[in-house]
Structure 1
Amino acid sequence: MVLDISTLLLGFQFTSPGPIIVEIGPITLRWYGLLIATAVLIGVSLSQYLAKRRNVNPELISDLSIWLVIGAIPAARLYYVLFQWSEYSQQPGRIIAIWQGGIAIHGAMIGGTLAALIFAKVNQISFWQLADLVSPALILGQAIGRWGNFFNSEAFGRPTDLPWKLYIPPVNRPPALANFEYFHPTFLYESLWNFIVFALLITLFFRSLSGKPRLRVGTLFLTYLMAYSCGRVWIEGFRIDSLMLGPLRIAQVVSLSGILIGLAGLGWLYLMKRPLPDVVASPQTD
């Protein structure tokens, strides 16, 4: 008999309690929305603190966060819907039902990057500086947000009998796998990977303030892009619900592109000797 790891640690089967926290009349509070809101609030607070340590006005982060939400969330939904158009074209009313899940992080990254570029241009501040300050918060938010997939019983992987297997209710199983009960918890794999990437970025950030190592502005963002993409490439291989373009898993293609862009960007920062500033520590001690 294979025992779930949560049974060992917590005394109950590793299975989602469902997507809804509470319903009060017409008001429904869902885990997915709560986790996204929590991730945004934590991310903004963290980025403001990091901005202070790099001598950047933290109020800029507050303004930027609005742009990022406006740019990222609709883009994440649009990205997902476009690659699932055969499904949503039959039920167009579901296109705006973002609370049911179905957003793509790569869409959010594209939309958020475009929003940040425009914001930086309007406010005459370095995009690279903003990207560095936001990157640790982004990956932390991704780590938190992935748990929304757990509560929705989605974004799971192939059937498995491993100790950390995840029970999926029959209604959420693909028809071809209806006889299987347990699957790879790929949401958990990615959440854990993202926490590791967050630890790497935040360590680099604070060590760079003392010049050990001596980082150039933009390094954290490019490191985030490469590190997250490395994890997503192999984790996506477990998924059974990947967005596809013919025989290709879109997330893997985009992630491989992200790794190459990150490598090229680091080469541009360090090898080409571009006139971008080094990280400057704040004299504050808080």
Structure 2
Amino acid sequence: MFTLSSNFDHSSIEPLRNILLEIGPLKIYWYAVLILSGAMLALFLAIREGKRIGVPKDFLEDLVIFGLPLSIAGARLYYVIFEWSRYKNNLLGVFRIFEGGLAIHGAIITALIWGYFFAKSRGISINQFLKTCDMGAVGFLVAQAIGRWGNFMNQEAHGGPISYKINGKMQEFTEMTASERQMALDQQREFLSDKLHLPEFITNQMYIKEGFYAQYYHPTFLYESLWNLTGFTILLILRRTKLLYIGDMIFIYLIWYSIGRFFIEGMRTDSLYIGDTGLRTAQLISIVLVVVSTVALAIRHYKKIIPVTYYEELEKHSH
């Protein structure tokens, strides 16, 4: 256990290497590997569930194989639009996507649009499309939970500095003596290692230099990853009950993810903003998604629009 009296040498911490493999000029980033791994796990789970509920394997494979690069492009485009001042004089930087800079809301919007038109082009029935959306909801959550660890490797999408008190109050690092900075870092590290009980490799990776001094930052990537895994578990349980119509899970996903994202986004230091308004884009979109999805679910169940339950579909295809 870490203690304040340890005189720990924080400056000796080295960040984890964010490149998994280098072959000549080719670099394979952990960020890319983790995003692809999440997508492949989502596809595997969808194919397995598709057998139980009557959604063809080849349809799901084509949906993901063509949809994944489109979703990544959508995520990047969304990010670049809101960070245009950063890229307008560095257009080549727009294409370095695996170094970071993907916005999940852009990926979600692109994936839903792609899924709709792809299903329509294949002549998929509305019931099949709704079941695909349900499997997509489960897949989104597990893929996002894994993908957030790419942010961890890049030391991005983190929260603000962990709070500390020197002489009973917060002080800027620039205003402290060396011994006071050591005390502040000790308190920050203790929060991660002793209060959150995080393993050393996560605690160390949260020691990030931004500006002149390095500090420990909140691991918001981890908060969101755990939130998504919790939502994933809830959906797995709900889809075996008789409560949900087919298509409900995509709305539940949007509500669940948006609630978590709204609060976690408030902790982050790298938020995208709407112009100079001071409004965080992700928080505004999260509010819209919660309201729209909640209203859609309520209206659908009140008016019994396509009142086919997920459980009924499972029963129908189990024989």
Q: TM-score, normalised by structure 2?
A: 0.79
Residue aligned with 1:28, SS: strand
Structure 1: gaps spanning 5 or more residues? 5-12
Residues 301 and 307 in structure 2, CA contact (< 8 A), matched pair in contact too:
no
Aligned pair partner of 2:287 in 256, 261, 265: 256
Structure 1 residues 196-235: aligned runs within 5 Å? 196-205=230-239, 207-208=240-241, 213-235=242-264
Q: 2 CA distance for matches of 1:247 and 1:82?
A: 16
- The equivalences for 1:63-82 within 5 A come to 63-82=62-81
Q: Do the aligned partners of residues 15 and 270 (structure 1) sit closer, same or farther apart at CA in structure 2, a change above 3 Å counting? A: farther
2:86 and 2:67 mapped to 1: Cα distance?
28
Question: What is the 5 A alignment of 1:17-56?
Answer: 17-56=16-55
Q: Structure 2 counterpart of 1:99, which letter?
A: F
Q: Which amino acid aligns with 1:157?
A: G
Answer with 136-145 or 256-265: which moved more. Answer: 256-265
- 1:241/1:256 Cα in 2 relative to 1: closer, same or farther (>3 Å)? same
SS of corresponding position for 2:28:
strand
Q: 1:135 aligns with which of 130, 134, 137?
A: 137
Whether 1:168 and 2:204 are equivalent positions in the alignment is: no
- 1:190 corresponds to: 224
Which of 264, 269, 280 is matched with 1:240 structurally? 269
1:182 alignment partner AA: Y
Comparing 85-94 with 273-282, greater Cα deviation is found at 273-282
The 3-state SS of whatever aligns with 1:146 is helix
Runs of 5+ in structure 2 lacking a partner? 5-11, 163-187, 197-202
- In 1: Cα distance, 2:54 partner to 2:248 partner: 17
From 133, 139, 158, give the equivalent of 2:160. 158
**Structure 1: distance between partners of 2:233 and 2:3:** 30
Give the share of equivalent positions with the same residue, in percent.
Answer: 36
**Between Structure 1 and Structure 2, how many residues are aligned?**
268
Q: 1:87 to 1:79 in 2, by over 3 A?
A: same
Q: Indicate whether 1:268 and 2:299 are aligned.
A: yes
Partner AA of 1:137 in structure 2: G
Could you state the TM-score of these two structures normalised by the residue count of structure 1? Answer: 0.87
Q: What is the CA distance between 1:22 and its match in structure 2?
A: 2.3
List per-residue Cα deviations over 1:109-129 (Å, max 9, x = no partner): 010010011012112322322
1:21 alignment partner AA: L
Runs of 4+ deviating beyond 3 Å: 1-4, 13-16, 282-285
SS at match of 1:95: helix
* Cα separation, 2, equivalents of 1:201 and 1:78: 30
Aligned-pair Cα RMSD in Å = 2.2
Task: Report deviation, 1:284.
Answer: 6.7
Distance across 2 between alignment mates of 1:121 and 1:168: 48
Rounded to whole Å, the distance in 1 between the matches of 2:243 and 2:272 is 39
Deviates further, 161-170 or 53-62: 161-170
Amino acid at match of 1:244: Y
Tell me the secondary structure at the aligned position of residue 303 of structure 2.
Answer: coil
SS in 2 for 1:29: strand
For residues 249 and 35 of structure 1, the distance between their equivalents in structure 2, rounded to whole angstroms, comes to 26
Secondary structure at the aligned position of 2:269 is classed as coil
Q: Distance in 1 between matches of 2:51 and 2:14?
A: 41
- Give per-residue Cα distances to partners, 1:1-33, cap 9 Å, x unaligned: 9669xxxxxxxx997412111222112121011
